Structure formats: structure tokens, C-alpha cells
Structure 1
Amino acid sequence: MKEETTILIVDDDEEIRNLIGIYLKNEGYTLRYACNGNEALEMIKETAISLVILDLMMPGLDGVSTCVEIRKQHYMPILMLTAKTGDLDLMQGITVGADDYMRKPFNPLEVTLRVKSLLRRYRDYGALKEKNSNLFRYKDLTVDIASRQCLKGDQAVRLTPKEFGILSFFIRNQHQVLSLEQIYEAVWQEEAFEIENVVMVHITKLREKIENDPRNPSYIKTVWGRGYRL
């Protein structure tokens, strides 16, 4: 419901914050404001935020760095605003976790439409909806195949695409012994040939991120001479 939807607008330009705020307030959303990245992170700690509108270029902690910090623990949608026109600058925001972006100057009505679309998408296909058939759990790990997100307890685990692919393959095949060839062909989508070191290096890095003690793993166990098992 809109009365339960709180949007955080983060921009060092007060006029932009207020302009966006006017349109979103008319839609019934609850609003919070921050003028820099550090202030935004503190606000998120104290308030349940449903969506973040985040400026890319801000003094101090910029939008990209702020997005990285948010994504370490939170999955609310992030709409990035930028005055930059280069595709590389825009893609950087998407790469670190932004869901959508808009170039300045923008039409406030379009911002409103983007906000509604992102909120609807997250509500319908939210990262942790129990009815999601792509949601898997093993011990205190939660893996959502659809949104490519992983939690250990309530903490986000940041994985590379290959690390996530390996973990997904394991969690879909819990308790089965998987050979290096099976893992490689499932994740890399190529025929396995002299791939032992490649797979082992990625599993080592994955263990470093999910295991309490990577040297004595409790999730991904080695089955000597055969492969690995979750």
C-alpha cells in the first residue's frame, strides 16, 4: 500500500529533491531526503526504505559508491539519476546494483512512472517471496535464482556471475556429488576440456565468501576423486 511505501530521494541539489518530492507526494508516497551518500546510508539504517532515487554525481560519497554500500545489505529498487551522458558512466551504475537510470534533465512525471514500475516489479517478483519457485535454501543460505541474489542469514553475499552460477548449480542439486566436468558444463555452457584448475579456483573463491572457515568447509564439501557436494 502507498501509505507503507517510503521513498528516499538522494541528491545534493535541493531543487531537484523538492521537485521529485512534490510529484511523488501527490501519489501518496512517504518521502525521506538526503543530500549526500553518507546521509542516505544513515537514513536507510534508521528507516524502512521501499525505493531509493540516487544521484550519480555527489560530493563526498558519490552515487556509485553509495549504491555499492546499499547493495551489501539491502534489495530495495534503486533508480539512478545522472547528468552524465556517456554510456560507460550509466552502465557503471547498473553494474553495481542500480535497477534503472534516468538522465538529467528529466520529466518528473516520467520519474513517477519509473518509480511505480520498479515498485510493482519488486512486489510481484520480490527477491524473497516465498511463492517464488526459484527460491532455494540450504542451512542458513538463501539463493534466489531469478534475481541472482544470495543471503547468508540476513546478510547479502556479493558473488561474481560464475560464483553465483556454481552456487546455484549446487543448491539445485543438493546432496548430489557433482564432478568438475558437470559443474563446468552447467555454468560455463561449454564442453569441459582441461578445466580442473578453472573450476577449483572459482570454488575456492566461493568458499571464501560463504564459509565460516574456508579451510574446513561446511557447505561445499570435497568428495575426493569424484568432485564436490553441497
Structure 2
Amino acid sequence: MKILVVEDNESVCSMLEMFFLKEKYIGTFVHNGQEGFEIFKKEKWNLIIVDWMLPGMDGVTLCRKIREISTTPIIMLTAKDSESDQVLGLEMGADDYVTKPFSPLTLMARIKAVTRRYQQETEHIEETHFLTSEYFKISKDTREVFFKGHLMANLTPKEFDLLYYLVKNPRQVFTREQLLDRVWGYQFYGDERTVDVHIKRLRHKIGTSSMPFIHTVWGVGYKFDETAVESE
């Protein structure tokens, strides 16, 4: 597996290089955001690991520019642990984030989970079909979402995955752990706040106060329901 790491901390790079050798990953390490983007465009990668704070081009901008031209999985490394910072990284297209300081074993688990999910999606090519409901029409193959007949162009890759899974299983209640496992592809290493952030963003983009579509089942988790009204 080829991994591009854009990280300006040489000690972090040395640590990752050691673990990559153990896992037989091929790692390329770049210390500048702009240089990282240029190298990314020249080769095909299985995964990109991007630090938030970078010279030349910050990690958030780099993530956004990569996502404009590619669906390659991205994991963001960040010393910022506030919810607003995490939201920003996820909105720019990151598939996951790891907060510094981090355990290398945890990062390796995240790498395996993110790449496994991506491979499952790309290796099983299906005939073009639409998942339809009363208000939504979704194509998994073209990754397009039509809401009331209008194309939605503002969903991030992970928001699409989450919405598709919920619409595919209407009125079924899922815990945060289940959504991490079935949408993100891992069960024990994910931060439950990742689910909450994506649910919040999806509600803002597709729902209203009278018709939220994604409902909170207090003490349990979330469900998709086009007929129910959010309970207090």
C-alpha cells in the first residue's frame, strides 16, 4: 500500500516510517503542503495522511484541493481538538482525523479501517441503480443525491456515505458505535463525536425543524424517518 504523508515534524515521520516498514507499507514523506499537493498529482496513492499545520499550504487547504480532484482516503493529523476544528477538517473532505499526541497503534488501526472501507466500495462495481424514497433519489455509483428532484452538490464524501446508509435502512435505529462500524468501517477505534458532527451537518443541509429526516432516539442513537417529527 502506498501512503503519502505530508507532515513537517521529522520525529513523527520517523516514527511512522518505522511502523510502515513493519506493516510493509510504502511511505513517501513530504514536509511542505504545496510540495505534497504536487507529488500527490503525479502518482496514484492508497491513502494520504495530512498534518493540519504545514508550511507552504496548510493541511485543511491541502485536503480540500485533493478532494476536488480525487476520492483517495485522507486521514488528518491535528493538535486541535475542538469540535469546530474537527468539523472544518471533515467538511474539507477528510475521512477521519487523529488528534496529537497519538498512539501509533491507533493510527495503524485507523489506516486499515479507512482503506478497507474504500477498497470494498471500489472493488465491488455494481450496475447503476438508484436508492429512492419519498424525498430522496440517491445513486451509489455516481454518488449523486437528488432531494425533491434537485441535485445536492454540497455533501462531503462521508456525509454521502452516512446519508446513503440511513436512507437504505429507514426507521431503523442505529447507535453511534454501529454507524462507526458500518459507515466508517471500524468499531473500537472511532471517536463517537465523528458521528455527531456528520449528523449535525447533514441535518443542516437536508432538513428543517419541522422535517429533520434524521432523528435522535434519546439514549440510543439515530434513525432516518421521512414521516416522524423530532421529539423533544
Do these two structures clear the TM 0.5 threshold for a shared fold by scoring above it?
yes
Q: How many residues align?
A: 152
Amino acid at match of 1:14: E
User: Deviation of residue 189 (structure 1)?
Assistant: 8.5
1:96 and 2:92 correspond: yes
Q: How far is the alpha carbon of 1:60 from its aligned partner?
A: 2.6
Q: Is 1:49 aligned to residue 49 of structure 2? A: no
Q: Where does the alignment leave 5 or more consecutive residues of structure 2 unmatched?
A: 132-136, 145-151, 161-205, 211-232
Aligned-residue Cα RMSD (Å) equals: 3.3
Residue of structure 2 aligned with 1:110, choices 106, 111, 135: 106
Conservation of the 8 A alpha-carbon contact between 2:33 and 2:62: yes
Name the structure 1 match of 2:22. 26
| Structure 1 residues without counterparts, runs of 5 or longer | 137-142, 151-157, 166-186, 192-230
Q: 1:144 to 1:81 in 2, by over 3 A?
A: farther
SS of alignment partner, residue 108 of structure 2:
helix
Quickly say closer, same or farther: Cα 1:190–1:85, change in 2 above 3 A. closer
Alignment of 1:186-205 (within 5 A): none
Contact 1:20–1:111 under 8 Å retained in 2:
no
**1:15 to 1:160, Cα distance in 2 relative to 1, 3 A:** same
Give the percent of matched residue pairs that are identical in Structure 1 and Structure 2: 32
Corresponding letter in the other structure for 2:98: M
- Residue matched to 2:229: none
CA distance in 1, matches of 2:21, 2:86: 27
Matches within 5 A, 1:8-19: 8-19=4-15
Distance 1:134 1:109, change over 3 A: farther
Structure 1: how far apart are the matches of 2:26 and 2:130? 30
1:130 aligns to 2:113 (yes or no)? no
Say whether residues 1:159 and 2:153 are aligned partners.
Answer: yes
Taking the aligned partners of 1:53 and 1:26, their CA distance within structure 2 comes to 18
- TM-score of the superposed pair, with normalisation by structure 1: 0.58
